[in-house]
Copies of this chain bind each other. A is one copy, B any other.
Amino acid sequence: MSELRKDPINGRWVIIARNRAKRPEDFSQDFRTESTGFCPFCTGHEDSTPREIMSYRDHHAAPNHPGWRVRVVPNKFPALGVDGTIDKRGDGIYDLMNGVGAHEVIIECPQHESSMARLPVGNIREVLWVYRDRLVDLKRDQRLVHGLVFKNVGALAGASLDHSHSQLIVTPVVPISVQEEMDGALEFFKYRGRCIYCDMIQQELATHSRIVLETSSFVVFCPYASRFPFEMWVLPRHHSSHYENIPRQAIEEMGMVLKTVLTKLELALDNPPFNYIIHTAPFNSTEVQHYHWHMEIIPRITRVAGFEWGSGFYINTVAPEEAAGFLRDTEVDTSSWNVA
């Protein structure tokens, strides 16, 4: 079982996952994804993954057999395990607990497609709906407090398999990045009585220079203090703290929004490696006024060096206004998307 250890100085948690370990000589400096020709995520290879947790599939099709459209399986090399107790304890001045949690893989399509942007919009909507289903289910586990949905595309962004997929890690402590956002947003709320994300949306729509896309329920912009070139945030216009509360009609729209911005990204930057993550409020509440769920899309086209690791400062060589202008001007033909 893995261990969660806390840095006693800054409070950051680290997962020591020995079951994923390699010998020192196994650390390859080659960052390409493996392409052995065999893909365990393709339909027909269902027995190459752990047994599925859920899937959206045709009525006649049996679990762990072809006939699925989106499929969720446990990660074969999980960072956290579902069994056991958390057992928080000390080790001298240090704190640790058992690595209890969930680590799931969402296989987004049965065919061998590496680009989410090229999936039919209906397919993307089902992926977004699966995220919600898994969060609703895992929220019932009293040991767990937060779920983080994320996606790695391309070896430089940490992907080890090409087939379009995302992941969900549910943790027994709130991730420090989410906690810092919650704390900062709460401070703003105490002072101004408003959600800071709602204020950002208002200012972004008014100035427009950082807007990439706006629809009736969503706004996509390059954030004012973008850490990375072409970073984009997707926010629901109506205040909501928990992703899993998303209404079906918003999922419908978000499918189009996500396909559009990911297509723009692929066209503008020639299929860059990227990550996306969904930041949503912890499980211990159903809705809070000060936090606003959102998706952060991070192209991985620059190197993170010593300065960034050491300072927490980021050096971004493309102003978000330029990035947004470039992404806005990247034309995407969406006319045929809702047909199939």
Contacts and interface: CB of A to CB of B under 8 A. Distances in A.
B29 A156 contact: yes
What is the predominant secondary structure among interface residues of chain A facing chain B? mixed
A317 B8 CA distance: 20
Interface stretch (A81-89, A111-119, A176-184, A246-254): A176-184
A238 to B, nearest CB: 19
A106 interface: no
B5 A225 contact: yes
Give the size range of A's interface with the partner.
Answer: 35 or more
A131 interface: no
A58 interface: no
Contacts of A171: 311, 313
Contacts of A185: 9
A38 interface: no
Interface stretch (A59-67, A255-263, A271-279, A281-289): A271-279
A159 B305 contact: yes
Interface string A227-251: 1011000000000000000000000
Contact of A7 (B18, B31, B223, B268): B223
A56 interface: no
Contacts of A167: 306-307
Interface stretch (A40-48, A132-140, A195-203): A195-203
A184 B148 contact: no
Contact of A15 (B17, B181, B304, B313): B313
10 contacts: A8-B224, A9-B180, A9-B188, A9-B196, A14-B315, A15-B314, A21-B319, A27-B229, A27-B269, A155-B303
Interface of A: 5-18, 20-22, 24-25, 27, 29, 31, 79, 91-94, 148, 150-152, 155-159, 167, 169, 171, 175-178, 180-181, 184-185, 188, 196-197, 199-200, 203, 207, 223-227, 229-230, 268-270, 272-273, 275-279, 296, 298, 301-320, 322-323, 326
Given A27-B229, A169-B313, A276-B306, 16 more contacts: A7-B224, A10-B181, A15-B315, A16-B316, A16-B320, A20-B317, A22-B317, A31-B31, A93-B196, A94-B224, A150-B307, A157-B303, A158-B305, A171-B313, A176-B312, A275-B309
Q: Identify the 7 closest CB pairs spanning chains A and B, nearest first.
A: A158-B305, A277-B310, A150-B306, A175-B311, A275-B306, A177-B312, A176-B312
